[in-house]
Amino acid sequence: MNRRKRNHYQIKKNNKRNLNVLYIFRSVKHIYAQIIDTNGKVLLAVNSKHIKTTNEIKTYNILGAAEVGKLIGLKAKELGILEVVFNRGEYKYHGRVKALAEAARENIKI
């Protein structure tokens, strides 16, 4: 088993609480975030295509990821989702992943 799959498996295995999960996917141009319940149903999905870009905020930089995190946090709060488990998958917790998580933390408990 290679390192990426092993990291993903360990994170998934350690989620023993019955809570909704905030999954992320990071590509070169965009970042995607989903909140999935314990049955596997997608409750909420937001990506960087939903934000308005400016000279500073682009879909592929840290500021864009923070906007996605803020947006998913606000929408989750509207739906009554107050606590989620963060699943970063195979990605290291820095850069765009960290910015998304910290911006979402302002509105929901991770």
Structural domain boundaries enclosing 49: 3-105
Q: Which helix (H) or strand (E) holds 2?
A: none
pLDDT tens digits, residue range 31-80?
999 999 888 899 999 999 988 888 888 889 999 999 999 999 999 999 99
Candidate from 77-81, 86-90, 92-96 with smallest mean pLDDT: 86-90
Q: What's 21's domain CATH number?
A: 3.30.420.100
Take residue 20 and report the two structure tokens written for it: 């909704």
Query: Does residue 82 lie within any of the structural domains?
Result: yes
Q: How many domains does the chain have?
A: 1
The tokens describing 39, both together, are 């049955």
28 burial type by CB count under 10 A (0-12 exposed, 13-18 middle, 19+ buried): exposed
Residue 110 within a domain: no
Tokens 């906007």 label which residue? 67
- Per-residue pLDDT reduced to its tens digit, 5-17: 777 676 666 666 6
Specify the higher pLDDT residue, 4 or 64. Answer: 64
pLDDT in tens, 45-54: 999 998 888 8
Residue 77 is assigned to a structural domain of this protein: yes
Sign of CA dihedral 75, 94, 19, 29: positive
Please tell me whether the overall predicted TM-score, pTM, comes out greater than 0.75 for this model. yes
pLDDT of residue 28: 92
- The reply to whether 64 falls in a domain is yes
